[in-house]
């Protein structure tokens, strides 16, 4: 019987669609599903403690048996769509109940996850990432998070003005008004002019970081036990500080060296991930400085300039044709042998 892969995304997602095409070529069946219809637009049956496990949705005219999948790609699942009721508290309670029900049911599926949702959530915490990277021996920029204006000023002076500001969470971009352009806050330099407005820091935690004088940016994409490093000539374009503002610069494959490559794999193991996009910058001394890891990072933009078929590699992992880096037991329970801690 062919393998089956559940893709928690929509067919409009270019990454998911391309991977699904590769899976079809591998004789692997794929099903797309998102969280949107959950609660009101599907019928659910879930059973625990019986002779057989049951976890099925009647989603419109299609029945989805969640236990029939060999692997699950937690790509872009969307969010619950809870109807409004006369009493607002009813909708709020339903959302909490439905969220915990859905998470509990999904997390209980002992399958290959890319990535296990709870691990995705923890891995998205930038401050935690920095600690994990530092503890395995990666170079990291000096960083502070503060809501004290004087601490921000002292850090700026300590760094001789070589400081950047970035959002603590990329999700904060979703709070910006839709008419803002560009829709999103890139990494920004802190200027002398900005210091005079540091009294505003007291309103929320702010992340300030040492500005690395860099020669280039390095993107490392880990898919299962395979690692692909790319060199981005960020200093040749408009995105000298944040290369994401200019994808038109030259890119090529890159040799990390065995020692750093092993640390990258260890980073994902420690975070419980089977996929991750790691960003380094290459400083003036040719040292790789860790910036962050995105457990759902995009990669299609890398395929053509580097001639690397990352979509196919993802399909091979999901289709059981290549080995995962972490097991379900490791991702769910936090240790490699599957025993509860």
Evaluate if residue 73 carries a pLDDT over 70: yes
Quick one: 239 and 304 in the same domain? yes
Tell me how long the chain is: 341
* pLDDT value at residue 63: 84
Band of the pLDDT at 64, cuts 50, 70, 90? confident
- Position with higher pLDDT, 193 vs 180: 193
β-strands 226-232, 188-189 pairing: unpaired
For residue 185, give the CATH number of its domain: 3.30.1490
d(CA 176, CA 196): 24
Q: In what order do the strands lie in the sheet with 275-283?
A: 251-253, 226-232, 214-223, 275-283, 288-294
Q: What domain range is 322 assigned to?
A: 213-333
Evaluate if residue 59 carries a pLDDT over 70: no
Mean pLDDT of 97-110: 92
Quick one: 297 and 218 in the same domain? yes
How does pLDDT run across 287-334, given as a tens digit for each residue? Answer: 999 999 999 999 999 999 999 999 999 999 999 999 999 999 999 998
Quick one: 153 and 186 in the same domain? yes
**Which of 62, 84, 109 lies at the terminal end of a domain, its last residue?**
109
338 inside domain: no
Quick one: 224 and 321 in the same domain? yes
- Position with higher pLDDT, 242 vs 132: 132
Quick one: 237 and 271 in the same domain? yes
Quick one: 200 and 221 in the same domain? no
Quick one: 87 and 154 in the same domain? no
Average pLDDT, the chain: 90
Please tell me the pTM assigned to this model: 0.91
* pLDDT value at residue 328: 96
* pLDDT value at residue 338: 38
Quick one: 204 and 312 in the same domain? no
**Which of 210, 237, 269 lies at the terminal end of a domain, its last residue?**
210
d(CA 4, CA 187): 40
Band of the pLDDT at 1, cuts 50, 70, 90? low
* pLDDT value at residue 340: 33
pLDDT over 90, % of the chain: 73
pLDDT over 70, % of the chain: 92
d(CA 164, CA 143): 10
* pLDDT value at residue 115: 97
Evaluate if residue 82 carries a pLDDT over 90: no
β-strands 43-47, 143-146 pairing: unpaired
How many structural domains are present in the chain? 3
- Position with higher pLDDT, 46 vs 267: 267
How does pLDDT run across 183-210, given as a tens digit for each residue? Answer: 667 889 999 999 999 999 999 999 999 9
Query: How far is residue 294 CA from its own chain's centroid?
Result: 4
Contacts of 178 (CB under 8 A, 6+ apart): none
Q: Which burial class, exposed, middle or buried, applies to 291 when counting CB atoms under 10 A from its CB (0-12, 13-18, 19+)? A: buried
181 inside domain: yes
Beta-carbon neighbour count of residue 213 at 10 Å?
A: 10
**Which of 210, 241, 260 lies at the terminal end of a domain, its last residue?**
210
How does pLDDT run across 136-175, given as a tens digit for each residue? Answer: 999 999 999 999 999 999 999 999 999 999 999 877 766 6
* pLDDT value at residue 175: 67
* pLDDT value at residue 335: 59
Quick one: 206 and 217 in the same domain? no
Quick one: 54 and 147 in the same domain? no
d(CA 232, CA 234): 5
How does pLDDT run across 106-141, given as a tens digit for each residue? Answer: 999 999 999 999 999 999 999 999 999 999 999 999
* pLDDT value at residue 176: 67
Quick one: 311 and 227 in the same domain? yes
Helices marked H in 3-87: 14-25
Mean pLDDT of 39-60: 77
302 inside domain: yes
């Amino acid at each position: 019987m062919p393998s089956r892969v559940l893709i928690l995304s929509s067919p409009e997602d270019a990454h998911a669609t391309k991977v699904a095409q590769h899976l079809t070529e591998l004789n692997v069946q794929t099903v797309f599903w998102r969280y949107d219809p959950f609660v009101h637009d599907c019928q659910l049956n879930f059973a625990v403690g019986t002779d057989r496990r049951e976890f099925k949705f009647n989603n419109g005219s299609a029945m989805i048996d969640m236990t029939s999948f060999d692997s699950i790609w937690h790509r872009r699942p969307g969010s619950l769509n809870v109807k409004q009721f006369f009493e607002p508290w009813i909708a709020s309670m339903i959302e909490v109940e439905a969220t915990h029900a859905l998470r509990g049911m999904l997390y209980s599926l002992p399958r290959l996850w890319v990535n296990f949702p709870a691990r995705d959530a923890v891995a998205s915490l930038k401050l935690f990432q920095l600690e994990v990277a530092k503890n395995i021996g990666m170079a990291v920029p000096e960083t502070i998070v503060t809501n004290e204006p004087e601490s921000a000023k002292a850090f700026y002076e300590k760094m001789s003005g070589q400081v950047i500001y970035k959002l603590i969470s990329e999700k904060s971009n979703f709070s910006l008004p839709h008419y803002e352009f560009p829709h999103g806050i890139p990494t920004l330099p802190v200027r002398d002019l900005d210091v005079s407005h540091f009294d505003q820091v007291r309103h929320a935690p702010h992340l300030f970081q040492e500005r690395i004088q860099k020669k280039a940016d390095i993107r490392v994409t880990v898919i299962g036990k395979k690692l692909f490093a790319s060199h981005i000539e960020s200093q040749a374009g408009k995105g000298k500080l944040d290369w994401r503002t200019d994808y038109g610069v030259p890119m090529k494959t890159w040799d990390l060296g065995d020692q750093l490559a092993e640390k990258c794999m260890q980073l994902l193991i420690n975070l419980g991930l089977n996929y991750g996009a790691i960003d380094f910058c290459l400083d003036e001394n040719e040292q790789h400085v860790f910036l962050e890891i995105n457990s759902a990072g995009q990669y299609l933009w890398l395929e053509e300039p580097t001639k690397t078929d990352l979509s196919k590699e993802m399909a091979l992992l999901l289709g059981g044709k290549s080995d995962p880096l972490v097991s379900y037991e490791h991702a769910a329970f936090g240790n490699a042998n599957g025993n509860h801690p």
